[in-house]
Amino acid sequence: MAKVAKFTYRTLPLLIVLLLGTAGHASAQSLNVFFGVGSAHDSSTGQVPAGSLNGEVAPTLGGAFGIFGGNFMMNSHLGFGAEYAFRFTQGDYSGFGYRPTFYDFNAVYQPTDAWDRIKPTVEAGIGGATLHEYYNQQFCTIGCQNVSTLINNSNHFQLHVGVAARIYVKGHIFVRPAFDLHIVPNFNEFGSDFVPQYTVAVGYSFGGR
């Protein structure tokens, strides 16, 4: 599973570049790329994790997330895309640091192109979720230095569904509010296998809108 995650991290930027190169061959086609911020949430297990450094129960999942991705619309209704979401900073997981990431590859459906400035989309696909765990220490001699060491990656398969809308504000520039649901079987580090995510992104369309 770790090899799959490494492959995906390398593949996602290449996919976006590839899509950028293929956009514009027909006016009905478009490449839409975006970057934004938001948050993802999950409940706590209510249990003290094995190996806890401070004896506290597992935390809830939250915090500020970044997201980037893109989709290539082959025509006015059908396309495909990819997204990558990550927590900006480490959270505290019973004395350890943690940072979750989610990535997915999707089929994209645009139900209508009747509106000039608003393009709603529905997407569904598969991907993965990774929980990066860190051991943080402080070393002091003349001064003090914080050292964060990656000690474990917990990898999970995920199903993904989402709804979004590209709202064009000027030319090919759009704002993209979105709701995503990550369904992560056996997401045992947290209390539920269902992780809702809310984001707002800014993007640009190459080719048609």
66 vs 17: which has the higher pLDDT: 66
The pair of three-digit structure tokens given for residue 33, joined into one six-digit string: 């790329």
Mean of pLDDT values over 29-37:
95
Cα separation, 89 vs 98, whole angstroms? 8
pLDDT for the residue 20: 47
Domain span at 7: 2-48+63-87+103-126+160-179+190-207
Does some domain include residue 37? yes
The pair of three-digit structure tokens given for residue 9, joined into one six-digit string: 């991290």
pLDDT for the residue 10: 54
pLDDT in tens, 36-46: 999 999 999 98
> Whole-number mean pLDDT of the chain?
86
Please give the C-alpha separations between residue 7 and each of 103, 127, 128, in angstroms, as whole numbers: 11, 12, 11
Does some domain include residue 136? no
Does some domain include residue 14? yes
Does some domain include residue 132? no
Q: How many CA atoms does the CB half-sphere of 54 hold within 13 Å?
A: 11
The single-letter DSSP state of residue 185 is T
At 11, the pLDDT band (50, 70, 90 cuts) reads low
Per-residue pLDDT at 1 exceeds 50: no
Per-residue pLDDT at 28 exceeds 70: no
Question: Domain holding 72: CATH number?
Answer: 2.40.160.20
Does some domain include residue 94? no
pLDDT for the residue 78: 94
Does some domain include residue 97? no
Cα separation, 165 vs 195, whole angstroms? 20
Does some domain include residue 15? yes
Into how many domains does the chain fold?
Answer: 1
pLDDT for the residue 139: 74
Does some domain include residue 6? yes
